Amino acid sequence: MHTQPFIKKVLPNGVRLLLVPVPSVNSVASAVLVGVGSRYETPDINGISHFLEHMVFKGTAKYPTMDDVTVIERVGGLQNAYTDIDVTNYHNKVLAEDWELGLEINKELALHPRLEEQWVDKERDVIIEEMKRYDDEPAAKVEETFHGMLYRGTKLGMRIIGEEASLRRVASSELRSYHDVWYMPEKTVVIAAGNIDGKRVSSIEGRVSEWFSDMKGRAQGDIEMVKETQTAPKLEVVTKPDAQQAHLVIGLRTFARGSEDRFAWGVFNLLMGVGFTSRLFKEVREKRGLCYHVRSESSAFADVGYWDIYAGVATAKVEEATQAILSELSKAADKGVTEDEVTVAKKRLKTVLAFRSEDPEFFTEWYGRQEVYNQPLMTLEEYIKKIDNVSKEDIHRLVRHYFKTETLNMALVWSKGREEKLLQLLHI
């Protein structure tokens, strides 16, 4: 297990640098995270954060063409970027000897994109094709539908990829202006993890200071906070006439990302809906044979959060699957969990983290996200201590607190229309 502490520096302009030594590897992963995403947009330009993240790969000040930007691949490295609801991340992993090139490329992508008009229309078409692909994938569509129904009418409820109409409005001037407003020093976190010895630490600090000290400005405004007001279960249905299977998500509102409840809930989530040993797998798939895939997961944001269960089932068995899932929720609320389940889930959680921490890219996410969200930095060891302290009583208390019929929601993508009897099934 990783034991080295992280090193944190803050540049005079507010850019934060994190260095995480992982001496056992021969690579360095680096990332530039910017605290902006779809919930910082307006409906008029919904999707622009993601559009911008695509466009930066068309060329930067120092690396003016796509061939130049993809130099990381030519030295054998792994390079990518992603846009989320509240963070955009430019990241790569290279051999330790190539750390400077890796970090420079991330810096260029985040700070100095060319955003040339000649590429905007082409890339817009690419993104619209990406959107169609998601729309054609019912498992992705049902997740998006579930999230959207929980937060409809708010910026948090908007799609990360945007809408076709809003994407059509975006030109290079909008991309430039959005970049100027949101890519600000106090929203920027630079992180490197991996084979960073003493000499390399000072070299990285020097380069980051040189490259990021001239970032200027302060971000305008912040997110609108979401208030939870749900008082009765809801059902949302998307009809896809050619769907061969029904895809459903059932979930409840829970807690924001900084909540202390996340530790016990992490253990509960694992024993409830992750892997072969989970209750949902054993009951819904193995015992009843209702699905091939069933799983649960948590989503948490600055202000709110939810926990949901996904399953892909035969169209004729949606009612039975819904009842089976809700029956498992009722059982957990009524009887709690067993000591053995908690012990196994803790061991699994710690093992997963041990495996992941063998890859330095894990640490760019682990620490980078905490820092960009302005959370107190928690090491893996501190997190594991919190997990070790979770009791079955803690879990039962949380389950009773959050399992409320009035905050139940169900999204369904299938070949049929809305059926009110499914809404009637939604109770715990």
Distance set, CA 312 to CA 32, 69, 202, 413 (Å):
36, 39, 51, 10
Whether 263 and 345 map to the same domain: the answer is yes
Look at residue 114 and tell me if it is in a domain: yes
What is the distance between the terminal CA atoms of the chain, rounded to a whole angstrom? 40
CA distance 68 to 275: 42
Whether 82 and 20 map to the same domain: the answer is yes
Rg from Cα positions in the chain = 23
Look at residue 225 and tell me if it is in a domain: no
Whether 188 and 314 map to the same domain: the answer is no
Domain boundary among 181, 212, 243: 212
Whether 319 and 283 map to the same domain: the answer is yes
Q: Which long-range contacts (CB under 8 A, 24 or more apart) does 64-72 make?
A: 64/114, 69/105, 69/108, 69/109, 71/101, 71/105, 72/101, 72/102, 72/105
Contact criterion met (CB below 8 Å) for 155 and 41: yes
Domain boundary among 150, 181, 212: 212
**Residue-level pLDDT at 352:** 97
Contact criterion met (CB below 8 Å) for 94 and 102: yes
3-state secondary structure of 89: strand
Hey, how many other C-beta atoms are within 10 angstroms of the C-beta on 176?
15
Whether 162 and 238 map to the same domain: the answer is no
Whether 249 and 181 map to the same domain: the answer is no
Whether 194 and 267 map to the same domain: the answer is no
Whether 199 and 312 map to the same domain: the answer is no
Q: Which residues are within 8 A (CB) of 401 and not within 5 positions of it... i.e. 6 or more apart?
A: none
Distance set, CA 238 to CA 50, 107, 412 (Å):
24, 41, 6
One-letter amino acid of 160: I
Residue holding tokens 């009842």? Answer: 323
Contact criterion met (CB below 8 Å) for 205 and 34: no
**Residue-level pLDDT at 4:** 55
Q: What is the mean pLDDT of each run of 10 residues along the chain (428 residues)?
A: 76 97 96 97 97 98 95 97 98 98 98 96 95 94 98 97 96 96 96 94 97 88 90 98 96 98 98 97 96 97 98 97 98 98 98 97 98 97 98 98 98 97 97
Whether 35 and 180 map to the same domain: the answer is yes
Whether 187 and 257 map to the same domain: the answer is no
Look at residue 2 and tell me if it is in a domain: no
Structural domain total, the chain: 2
Which of 95, 202, 157, 153 is closest to 306 using CA atoms?
157
User: What is the domain-level CATH number for residue 379?
Assistant: 3.30.830.10
Look at residue 228 and tell me if it is in a domain: no
Domain boundary among 212, 243, 260: 212
Look at residue 217 and tell me if it is in a domain: no
Look at residue 157 and tell me if it is in a domain: yes
Which of 405, 357, 402, 399 is closest to 381 using CA atoms?
357
Look at residue 1 and tell me if it is in a domain: no
| Residue span of the structural domain in which 287 resides | 234-425
Look at residue 410 and tell me if it is in a domain: yes
Whether 113 and 244 map to the same domain: the answer is no
Pairing label, strands 27-34, 188-194 = antiparallel
Whether 100 and 161 map to the same domain: the answer is yes
